[in-house]
Structure 1
Amino acid sequence: MEKWIIIDGNSIANRAFYAMPPLTNSQGLHTNAVYGFTTMLLKLLEEEQPTHIVVAFDAGKITFRHGDYKDYKGGRSKTPSELSEQFPLMKELMEAMGIAQFELSGYEADDIIGTLTRMADEEQKQMMVVSGDKDMLQLASEYVTVVLTRKGVTEIEKYDPAAIEEKYQLKPLQIIDLKGLMGDSSDNIPGVPGVGEKTALKLLHQYGSVESVLEHVGELKGKMKENIENHADDARMSKQLATIYREVPIELEREKMAFEGIPAATALPMLRKLEFKSILERVEKLAAKQSGEEVSEEPVIELALETILVTLENMPELTSALKQGDVDTLVLEAHGDNPHYANFFGLTFGSKERYWHMSKEMLLSEDAAPVRAWLADADQPKYGFDLHRTELVLHWLGIVLAGAAFDVQLAAYVLDPSDAAATVQSTAMKYELTVVQADEEVYGKGAKFKVPADELVAQHAARKVYLIRELVPLMEQDLQKYEMSKLYYELELPLSSILAQMEKTGIKVNKSSLEKLGEQFTAEIEKTMTRIYELAGIEFNIGSPKQLGEVLFDKLGLPVIKKTKTGYSTDAEVLEKLEPYHAVIPLILHYRQMTKLQSTYIEGLLKEVRPDTGRVHTYYRQTIAATGRLSSQFPNLQNIPIRLEEGRQIRQAFVPSEANWSIVAADYSQIELRVLAHISGDEKLKEAFIQDMDIHTKTAMDVFGVQAEDVDANMRRSAKAVNFGIVYGISDYGLSQNLNITRKDAAKFIEQYFAVFQGVRQYMEDIVKMARQDGYVKTMLERRRYLPEINASNFNLRSFAERTAMNTPIQGTAADIIKLAMVKMDERLRKLQLKSRMLLQVHDELVFEVPADEVDVMKKLVPEVMEQAIELIVPLKADVSVGTNWYESK
């Protein structure tokens, strides 16, 4: 007897993508949607044993429905590139697994599925439709069962007509009427405003269909009656759009849709390419069973681990294990994004065979002194996940953590910097280890967060400890394999502890200075508001885009540059273009700048000053930026706007924490351009830096063909824009916007630049070729960035990947250099036993607080260490300055 399965490919792929944690293979290809889809597919094959199977896909964005309603699916956001790049992989894998696929231009997967189910009804064949879309319920019949996925792709609900009747008290075809009345925001189907599922069901239970509801609208009352009368055409159109078309001209070749088992010869190589180890093993076993071989079932690892809740009575058992060196792994359980204020509720220790879980109270008890001593012992190596955060959380409890030997989160980032959201679970999945529950499944999310009983917390944490111990040797092998062990062990891992020390120290803030500056800003804001009202001839809410748009375009009659769905656009780009038209525009821009400074950097910073220290303690994220740069949070001290004098003044409030100390700051001079000179070997760039010339003047001289004394301000500004633009993969459009010139002139200027700096042009061409060949680019310190879109057929995706290939080795090397300088600076401070403290890293700048008797030493030492961090063919240059606050030291 034939048994068909039809899978809604786009729907299931989307659900798998958003349900599964981020996953990439060693080539940087995103694979989480393919992994989730394939896992579900194998489960179906094993449980349902179909005779025929088809995966239906959408064929492009435009369908026949757009002829009736051009805004159909218009509200949908663009498919993330991380998902779109997986569809070709998915289709390639389906072909390799002997699974038929079908798509047809002008039609959606729904219509193909609808047509196949009509054939099933006509021929009385059993068919199962698998989708995540409730629309499919309209296809349920005596022969067709609709399976809807729930919670990603892990759980399913089966619907036949009886199940639909039980749940909705509707017949399958009435599902179309349901959507006609309530609409569907995901497909931009309007429906009737104010009619949700509950109201729509009530109407259908009473009247049966959209048409009948419209016929009896006179019996309804109030706002609902008014809405249905005013939107009757929308309801009819919505029902039409929701109706699955079941007459697609399909050339049905049944033998191609027949499923006779997974062909190992084609499936296994493809699964190896995707690096799906556990799926590969399952398919190998399936293939062996198909060929009649006997397959021995390996026992599944049950992660019901022996976990001991530490009490005063059994504490000696843990302290004994610590003393004997049996324990090497720990996991912190704490809630809160900001580790300086996180709610700590447990620490779990693990050895090869046993796990101990300590509550906060137990860890802080007098009897736990040996445990705290072990944590503080740098000679006791410790494995973990995000040991940086663990160190900070424990610090505010008065507990020292030292001896980080391996951090799985940090290793995951080094191996794949595109995965900024790595978890223990997602990392374990990459290595095909047993996947355990995510934190959100145990604790809940947002307002639903709740700490369960100690036993559940202990078991959950113990499973993470188990996975970390499994991951360490596997990740060490990969670091060695990809030549990144040095980057990890000599740069990122030691830097993690250095950052934690900087964060624990914090930087002192003079609150009265900040408050005084806030008063000045408030006065300036009020003065600017008054002048805006005078010029506009009316008082209005300047912060309201709607009111501002009405004043600028309706009252003052300024030219409309851009419109949005809600009215006039008044974004920064629009206002900058309007500057020549009215004197009020510069004032509005100034007002916006001042109010942002006041709210974000005066009021915001005052809230971040910790009462018990009088300092702000930022949190440096080491695993966020794909370029290798550090990110700062709580507060973000890297974003204080220093291009504005008012923004620079905010730095006055950052002062040394001790009397008679100074702030010493040093920053690299044009480090990215110096790295470009080294990597490209361009003779003219090298010459400029070796001769210590102003690089922007030198560029202007070479591009415009003039002497230094003939370079005017506009020439230098243009040269500066293209110099920095080259580092970021400038386009003619980007340069035209920066310089307010035509794209044609910008393109000509870029061409002139490359004609002069031919070594840079050659580097750009070569690095893109290398990226296409290898799938990644590297920094000088071997940091990789994978570029899966570098060979994409989509022009925008490919262009972005090409620009990333050009700028990553430059930006990434610059980021690595300042990190290296921090590690070496920390070594020198300790070796010379100086009291000076490294406080901040802001882009290319390092900030220290320094006692009076060490100022001269540090003025010499800091630039020396920074300039000697790495050897380039051009000199590195660091400028150093000293002041009583951060502002004065610049």
Structure 2
Amino acid sequence: MADQKLLLIDGNSIAFRAFYALYRQLENFKNSEGLHTNAIYTFKNMLDVLLAEVKPNHILVAFDAGKTTFRTAMYGEYKGGRQKTPPELLEQLPYIQELLHDLGISTYELENYEADDIIGTFARLGEEKDFKVTVVTGDKDLTQLATSKTTVMVTKSGVMNLENYTPEHMKEVNGVTPTQFIDMKALMGDNSDNYPGVTKVGPKTASQLIQKYGSLENLYDHIDEMKESKLKENLRNDRDQAFLAQKLATIERATPVTIGLKELKKRKPDYQKLRRFYEKMNFQKFLGELDPAGDNAGATQAKTKTVKVDYTELTENNLAAIKPAEKQPISFYLGLLGANYHLADFVGFAIKTQAGIFVSRDVNLLKTTGLKRLLEDDQLKKNVFDLKRTVVGLHRLGIEAGGIDYDMLLASYLINNENNSDDLGEVCRMYGENSVKSDYAVYGKGKSVKIPEDDQVLFNHLAGKVKALAELKPTLLDQLKEHEQDDLYASIEIPVARVLATMEISGIKVEAATLSELQNEFAVELKELKRKIYQEAGEEFNLNSPKQLGHILFEKMGLPPIKKTKTGYSTSVDVLHQLQDQSPIIAQILTYRQIAKIQSTYVNGLLDVIQPDGRVHTRYLQTLTATGRLSSVDPNLQNIPTRTEEGKQIRKAFVPSQADGYIFSCDYSQIELRVLAQVSGDEQMQEAFRTGYDIHAHTAMKIFGLKSPDEVTPLMRRRAKAVNFGIVYGISDYGLSKNLNISRQQAKEFIDNYFAQYPQIKEYMDKAVQVAREKGYAETIMHRRRYLPDIHAKNFNVRSFAERTAINSPIQGSAADIIKIAMINMQKKLDDLQLKSKMVVQVHDELIFDVPKEELATIKEIVPQVMQAAVQLDVPLVADSGYGHNWFDAK
């Protein structure tokens, strides 16, 4: 098996390196549910590089099973001096393992042994079967495994700057062989693993001794021949320590593993699970790398069972055959090719009535008098898969859909928002034994995917969808009722879907001329920045080339390199931030990158999506997050930059539809903290909100022991604000210390003081976890459930994340419920008053309106009123508003 390659990865060590490679951007790497993802993201990037370079047939990622091993039995203080692993890393470890399994990669851990021992065992087994073995780790202890058949790659800094250890390289670096390296460690001990060697013996002396005597045993066999010295005295005194250290340093290569090499054979990735995983982690980069027309689609086709459905092809000659029965709902499916239903091509449609199933490719038939009246009839109830998608699609055909009261997608989402899917076929697989299996993934996703030319294939596909809508409706509605979510579904999710459809259809006007002006201004700024950078560098080069930039910074200018990649020096944002004090060129490069990103992503990006009506029509994802928060895509209007002056300028392009009109903005003030005060019942926090105190100043007074708000400095308030919002997301002392650039001890004191002053918040947190353990879910004030199957998990990290989710889901989810109720009530108010003003954008806690000049006074009065009256809490809801002739001025 000379061509067989085995890759062995030290999972804990590499995950640790991955975490710290992007730890400065820790708070920027979170998914929509608050899970930190920096280690997962970096681990995946590292894995891609390793797989491309090593090209293994077999692969294993080994993890530590726990803190107690045979080494701690020998020496109780083994690894005892290490700092606690940050919880922000611990919570990611189970998801790294999930990612590996989805990628077809085996993981393994063994009670009483370390990952090193598992790797040592499989390296030996691989060598015995003539495998070429590669070990990847951040721990030099594993270099003792290097042989003619095994190379050990050790991370030097960051993750991808790897040094290859072979026996020859070991000799060159340490002066000893890999096996002798164990004896070196025995003499010098290991501060990291917290075991002593011989007093006053460091790496240089240890290497010299082992080179001279060959082994630890031979050294002590000849110790009497050594000249009297302090070294000899220490060697004699610490003999037992040295031999204990030798045992501790030696990797066990015959562990009782229960799997063999054949189980390590790399399997084909599960593309469906990977897609779900990347979506859950918000990994757009990795999602984009999946080929929906390739392996992923192929896998879907292979698993899809085509169910033959009876249907009638609909033509102009048999339209009357549809015959909907009075008071009997119909099922309707509008086929659109692609996710963006504002622009997607029509595929066809299907209708199911008591007379049967009718299908056609020709969507123009829907415009005929009879069908149009049927689809617009409010009294005729309709079942659809995605209400918003259906309403927008029909609007494009000049049809104003009415009577839609069942949305299979929303029902499925509420029943299980941890495993939701926007694929009708996937919903069928979850809830229906014999329901049609959809091939939406084949026909509906991916630019290269084509609609089948065979009418029978397409018609059966469309017919199956409406058949499934009707068949599964009772099952899903029964589950909603069983979960006490039927009111949430009918009173919030269905109505807000209608509101969102109206908002999406309206869109918001964006002035291309303003964006073009910004484009020119940014181009001038970028050109000037380039000039300054080239002047500092002493030459021109490709600023967008990391390789050329690395050469300039680290070779020509001599700046200290922080991290290396396979292609050269790393010039990532994290690296550059660490070098800011070294040269003016660093700040210039960072500014250049920032403006270049705004230029490409927002200025150019928005110019590309302005439709012929002069507006952008975003899509709101109603079923993406487990908390109920809405997301915006194509384009993402919730992510327009607000922190930099250049980013804020983008909002100047968002203008009212009438030249003298206004953009009106109204947002909730500190809604999540008000919800926290509500659900916790904390009297001090509630009192602060009732009396109108600055809540962050109030918190600062409490945690810093001040008597007057006048004593609160801006720094104190900033720190109190970080604690206030951090508590909502279950922040740890480590996370807070990084946010505030303070010690973990000081961060812990802040958190302890916070709980001392707001004791009922701590009680709420404890109770929330207890209730979740008893019921299996957390619940918002509107009874939106977040099921927590991991709340009883044996794995500490998995269970801990579920516990934090139990605490923050009621807060985040309740805030999401409140804004949805406000949107429903607001749209009703606009309709009742027959106003021309339109609600056009939602940015989480903020609503944006397009207002004619003559209605501004009315809108200024009613919007805050409606928002503040959305729900009745024990603390007041406060909504702050502003307006101007563009979105920038409205803030």
TM range (shorter): 0.5 to 0.7
Quote how far apart the aligned CAs of 1:871 are: 1.0
Match of 1:616 in 2: 616
> Equivalent residue of 1:579, what SS?
coil
Quote how far apart the aligned CAs of 1:327 are: 5.5
> Equivalent residue of 2:324, what SS?
helix
Match of 1:850 in 2: 851
Quote how far apart the aligned CAs of 1:184 are: 12
* Equivalent residues in 2 for 1:518-533, closer than 5 Å: 518-533=519-534
Match of 1:317 in 2: 321
Quote how far apart the aligned CAs of 1:335 are: 0.5
Quote how far apart the aligned CAs of 1:325 are: 5.3
Match of 2:551 in 1: 550
Q: In the alignment, is the contact (CA less than 8 A) between 1:624 and 1:630 conserved in 2? A: yes
Match of 2:143 in 1: none
* Equivalent residues in 2 for 1:741-756, closer than 5 Å: 741-756=742-757
- CA distance in structure 1 between the partners assigned to 2:564 and 2:787 by the alignment: 38
Quote how far apart the aligned CAs of 1:769 are: 2.1
> Equivalent residue of 2:359, what SS?
strand
Match of 1:771 in 2: 772
Aligned pair 1:864/2:868, yes or no? Answer: no
* Equivalent residues in 2 for 1:11-160, closer than 5 Å: 78-80=96-98
Q: Structure 1 356/525 Cα, relative in aligned 2: closer, same or farther at 3 Å? A: same
Q: Structure 1 766/787 Cα, relative in aligned 2: closer, same or farther at 3 Å? A: same
* Equivalent residues in 2 for 1:322-341, closer than 5 Å: 322=324, 324=326, 328-341=330-343
Quote how far apart the aligned CAs of 1:648 are: 1.4
Quote how far apart the aligned CAs of 1:660 are: 2.5
> Equivalent residue of 1:623, what SS?
coil
Amino acid of the residue matched to residue 670 of structure 1?
Q
- CA distance in structure 2 between the partners assigned to 1:509 and 1:759 by the alignment: 47
> Equivalent residue of 1:322, what SS?
coil
Match of 2:672 in 1: 672
Amino acid of the residue matched to residue 675 of structure 1?
V
Cα shift readout 1:123-150 (whole Å, capped 9, x = no counterpart): xxxxxxxxxxxx9xxxxxxxxxxxxxxx
Q: 1:342 is matched with which residue: 341, 344, 358?
A: 344
Match of 1:811 in 2: 812
- CA distance in structure 1 between the partners assigned to 2:99 and 2:445 by the alignment: 27
Match of 2:357 in 1: 355
Q: Alignment length, in residue pairs? A: 629
- CA distance in structure 2 between the partners assigned to 1:512 and 1:302 by the alignment: 51
Amino acid of the residue matched to residue 399 of structure 2?
I
Match of 1:628 in 2: 628
Q: Structure 1 421/547 Cα, relative in aligned 2: closer, same or farther at 3 Å? A: farther
Q: In the alignment, is the contact (CA less than 8 A) between 1:59 and 1:106 conserved in 2? A: no
Quote how far apart the aligned CAs of 1:772 are: 2.4
Cα shift readout 1:599-654 (whole Å, capped 9, x = no counterpart): 1111100111002x111111111011111111111110000011112211111111
Aligned pair 1:820/2:821, yes or no? Answer: yes
Q: In the alignment, is the contact (CA less than 8 A) between 1:867 and 1:875 conserved in 2? A: yes
Q: In the alignment, is the contact (CA less than 8 A) between 1:58 and 1:107 conserved in 2? A: no
Amino acid of the residue matched to residue 308 of structure 2?
A
- CA distance in structure 1 between the partners assigned to 2:458 and 2:871 by the alignment: 46
> Equivalent residue of 1:405, what SS?
strand
> Equivalent residue of 2:599, what SS?
helix
Match of 1:10 in 2: none
Quote how far apart the aligned CAs of 1:718 are: 0.8
Q: In the alignment, is the contact (CA less than 8 A) between 2:736 and 2:747 conserved in 1? A: yes
More deviation, 398-407/424-433:
424-433
Q: Structure 1 710/441 Cα, relative in aligned 2: closer, same or farther at 3 Å? A: closer
Match of 1:405 in 2: 405
- CA distance in structure 2 between the partners assigned to 1:489 and 1:578 by the alignment: 55
Q: Please tell me the root mean square deviation across aligned C-alpha atoms, in Å.
A: 3.5
Aligned pair 1:308/2:312, yes or no? Answer: yes
Q: Structure 1 389/550 Cα, relative in aligned 2: closer, same or farther at 3 Å? A: same
- CA distance in structure 2 between the partners assigned to 1:351 and 1:491 by the alignment: 28
Amino acid of the residue matched to residue 723 of structure 1?
N
- CA distance in structure 2 between the partners assigned to 1:342 and 1:59 by the alignment: 42
Match of 1:507 in 2: 508
Match of 1:889 in 2: 890
- CA distance in structure 2 between the partners assigned to 1:431 and 1:249 by the alignment: 42
> Equivalent residue of 2:358, what SS?
strand
Quote how far apart the aligned CAs of 1:564 are: 4.0
- CA distance in structure 2 between the partners assigned to 1:641 and 1:824 by the alignment: 29
Quote how far apart the aligned CAs of 1:556 are: 3.4
Quote how far apart the aligned CAs of 1:451 are: 2.5
Amino acid of the residue matched to residue 860 of structure 1?
E
Cα shift readout 1:199-235 (whole Å, capped 9, x = no counterpart): xxxxxxxxxxxx9xxxxxxxxxxxxxxxxxxxxxxxx
- CA distance in structure 2 between the partners assigned to 1:500 and 1:673 by the alignment: 30
- Which 5+ residue runs of structure 1 have no aligned equivalent? 1-56, 64-75, 88-103, 116-134, 136-175, 187-210, 212-246, 253-300
Quote how far apart the aligned CAs of 1:524 are: 1.3
Cα shift readout 1:507-555 (whole Å, capped 9, x = no counterpart): 1111111111111111112222222222333333333333333333333
Q: In the alignment, is the contact (CA less than 8 A) between 1:305 and 1:354 conserved in 2? A: no
Match of 1:379 in 2: 379
Q: Indicate the percent of aligned positions where both proteins have the same amino acid.
A: 45
Match of 1:703 in 2: 703
> Equivalent residue of 1:340, what SS?
coil
Quote how far apart the aligned CAs of 1:83 are: 6.7
Quote how far apart the aligned CAs of 1:808 are: 1.1
- CA distance in structure 2 between the partners assigned to 1:363 and 1:347 by the alignment: 10
> Equivalent residue of 1:438, what SS?
coil
> Equivalent residue of 2:783, what SS?
coil
* Equivalent residues in 2 for 1:788-807, closer than 5 Å: 788-807=789-808
Amino acid of the residue matched to residue 609 of structure 2?
E
- CA distance in structure 2 between the partners assigned to 1:355 and 1:448 by the alignment: 26
Match of 2:428 in 1: 428
- CA distance in structure 2 between the partners assigned to 1:472 and 1:83 by the alignment: 34
Q: Structure 1 625/361 Cα, relative in aligned 2: closer, same or farther at 3 Å? A: closer
- CA distance in structure 2 between the partners assigned to 1:783 and 1:693 by the alignment: 30
Q: Structure 1 517/329 Cα, relative in aligned 2: closer, same or farther at 3 Å? A: same
> Equivalent residue of 2:755, what SS?
helix
Aligned pair 1:471/2:472, yes or no? Answer: yes
Quote how far apart the aligned CAs of 1:771 are: 2.0
* Equivalent residues in 2 for 1:617-696, closer than 5 Å: 617-696=617-696
- CA distance in structure 2 between the partners assigned to 1:602 and 1:384 by the alignment: 36
Quote how far apart the aligned CAs of 1:362 are: 4.7
Cα shift readout 1:387-443 (whole Å, capped 9, x = no counterpart): 211221222222222221100101111111122424322222322421533325763
Q: In the alignment, is the contact (CA less than 8 A) between 1:498 and 1:823 conserved in 2? A: yes
Q: In the alignment, is the contact (CA less than 8 A) between 1:412 and 1:422 conserved in 2? A: no
Q: Structure 1 500/376 Cα, relative in aligned 2: closer, same or farther at 3 Å? A: same
Q: Structure 1 734/570 Cα, relative in aligned 2: closer, same or farther at 3 Å? A: farther
> Equivalent residue of 1:888, what SS?
helix
> Equivalent residue of 2:877, what SS?
coil
Q: Structure 1 569/779 Cα, relative in aligned 2: closer, same or farther at 3 Å? A: farther
> Equivalent residue of 1:436, what SS?
coil
- CA distance in structure 2 between the partners assigned to 1:354 and 1:643 by the alignment: 56
Quote how far apart the aligned CAs of 1:347 are: 1.0
- CA distance in structure 2 between the partners assigned to 1:184 and 1:427 by the alignment: 42
- CA distance in structure 2 between the partners assigned to 1:824 and 1:499 by the alignment: 13
Q: In the alignment, is the contact (CA less than 8 A) between 2:329 and 2:380 conserved in 1? A: no
Amino acid of the residue matched to residue 347 of structure 2?
F
Aligned pair 1:390/2:390, yes or no? Answer: yes
Quote how far apart the aligned CAs of 1:754 are: 1.7
> Equivalent residue of 2:526, what SS?
helix
- CA distance in structure 1 between the partners assigned to 2:521 and 2:441 by the alignment: 49
Match of 1:538 in 2: 539
Q: Structure 1 500/730 Cα, relative in aligned 2: closer, same or farther at 3 Å? A: same
